[in-house]
Amino acid sequence: MCHHGSMAAYVIAESQQVDNPEVQKYRQLAVASIAKYGGRYLVRGALPDALEGSWPVTDRMVVIEFPSLEQAKCWYRSPEYTEARSMHSDPSGRRMLFIPGIDEQPV
């Protein structure tokens, strides 16, 4: 059972830009699973503008906000997202980071 913590958490994912039937199915299932577990997209499939360092033009970024880190991990392990992940035959070229937010902004 998932429990809500007291502060938001973020999932930051990067993946190569590919558009094929298996990726489209993954996206469809992922979107539904994220909503079910209380997540919301802040950034979806954007190409970052790298003012420092570099970013491959083939890679896109997603940022999802969840009510808590526990909820984000519960989503990741859920049957719904497990099904979505199974659509990706090749997970290489993907990175997914789970990051807790902060309680309040520093003064």
10-residue block means of pLDDT along the chain (107 residues)?
78 86 87 96 91 89 96 96 82 84 71
Q: Residue 3's pLDDT is what?
A: 64
Number of structural domains (the chain) is 1
Q: Residue 104's pLDDT is what?
A: 62
Does 18 reside within a domain?
yes
Q: Residue 1's pLDDT is what?
A: 57
Within 10 angstroms of residue 66's Cβ, the number of other Cβ atoms is 26
Q: Residue 5's pLDDT is what?
A: 67
Alpha-carbon distance of 54 to 95, in angstroms, equals 16
Q: Kindly list the distances between the CA atom of residue 24 and the CA atoms of 18, 31, 40, 105, in Å, as whole numbers in the listed order.
A: 9, 11, 19, 37
Q: Which domain holds residue 56?
A: 9-100
Q: Residue 99's pLDDT is what?
A: 96
Task: Give residue-wise pLDDT tens across range 12-39.
Answer: 999 888 777 888 888 899 999 999 999 9
Does 3 reside within a domain?
no
The CATH number assigned to the domain holding 81 equals: 3.30.70.100
Does 4 reside within a domain?
no
Question: What residue has token string 């919301």?
Answer: 40
Detail the DSSP E strand segments found in the chain: 9-16, 40-46, 59-66, 94-100
